[in-house]
Amino acid sequence: MLKQRLKSSIISEPDFRKMDVNPEWLQYSFDKHAVEEELQRIQKKHRKLVEVESVQNGDSVTLNLVSAEEKYNRKDLTINVGLGLFSKELEAQLIGRRSQDITDVNVQGHLVNVQIVRILRNIIPPLTDAMVASEQIDGISTLAEFEANVKGQIRDSAMGPNLYEIINSVYEQTAEKGKYNLVQEDLDLLIHMELERVRLMAQSEGLVLEEMTEEQIQERLPVKSYEEFLTMVTSTNRRNLPVLLIALKHAEENRFSPVSEGYEEYIAGMVQSFPGLDIEEVRQRIDFDNYAVKEYLKYFTEEVETYYKSKIQEV
């Protein structure tokens, strides 16, 4: 198991809640229109056509027209008032008139006798808890819960880039401000794990990581050469090793540990994402501890995110 495999240890753990985080990363602007749009989206699903007494813009009106001009000599003609698809001039003269009214109007110089047969209007009812419940969103059955959920999604979306900066900063400060007994063998292990993962990805395309050209590397990685990639992986894991030690400690305190089912899903996902890889070879080269490293770091990242999200303020 990973914990027994690592030889490094924590001497003094810094409190991730007391890191020097840029105050601007804990602020976001709230888009109220986005919430209104989501509320209206549900409301519109429940709109109904209702027969009304007088014509307004947007109504669907059925008419009988009598005129010497053939175009305006129609029976049971239905028009949407305001769209201007039949006659803007005629539609404008319908506004305010009542159902069953019969009147003469002038349309482009032609006398037209108009009978209003029926007026239908799309009515959007006020949003209710029942409408929200009909959406069948897990854990949400009331209007208040739905609004809170939408606001949370908007906040999380707006804070996405900032959370990335927060996590990076906390990781850096965790490594710098704590005291650790770090063993080179552990760092070598983490570097090897990451290289094996990327080697497999290259192999799925018939490539060898160490032999890839500058063009091939740049298409797949944020570096220009294998040497640059190795430097990046070494630097990242030198920072991640102290964080991993803390993640293991917190996970143990909270009784969290990666499980074999998750590992099998991860391996199957690797094979699915990179066709051409043999699942047994993937298992051999990416062992359970390789998967566990990612899960423990993910666990600690979520702990940090949860705390700093609670500190985010709307501006």
User: Virtual CA dihedral for 156, 159, 162, 163, nearest 10 degrees?
Assistant: -10
Rounded Cα distance, 62 and 60, in Å: 7
Question: What is the pLDDT at residue 267?
Answer: 95
Contact between 140 and 149 under an 8 Å Cβ cutoff? The reply is yes
Pair type for strands 110-123 and 60-67: antiparallel
Residue segments in the chain with a per-residue pLDDT below the cut of 50: none
Structure-token pair, residue 235: 């630097």
Please tell me the predicted confidence (pLDDT) of residue 35. Answer: 85
**Residue 115 and residue 100 in contact, taking contact as beta carbons nearer than 8 Å:** yes
pLDDT, residue 142, reads 93
Estimate the crossing angle of helix 226-253 against helix 184-203, to 10 degrees: 120
What pLDDT does 65 receive?
Answer: 95
Please give the pLDDT value at position 237.
96
Q: Residue 159's pLDDT is what?
A: 82
Write out pLDDT tens, residues 76-130: 999 999 998 999 999 999 999 999 999 999 999 999 999 999 999 999 999 999 9
The per-residue pLDDT for 3 is: 86
The DSSP result for 153-201, as a single string, is: HHHHHHHHHHHHHHHHHHHHHHHHHSEEE--HHHHHHHHHHHHHHHHHH
Output the pLDDT for position 34.
83
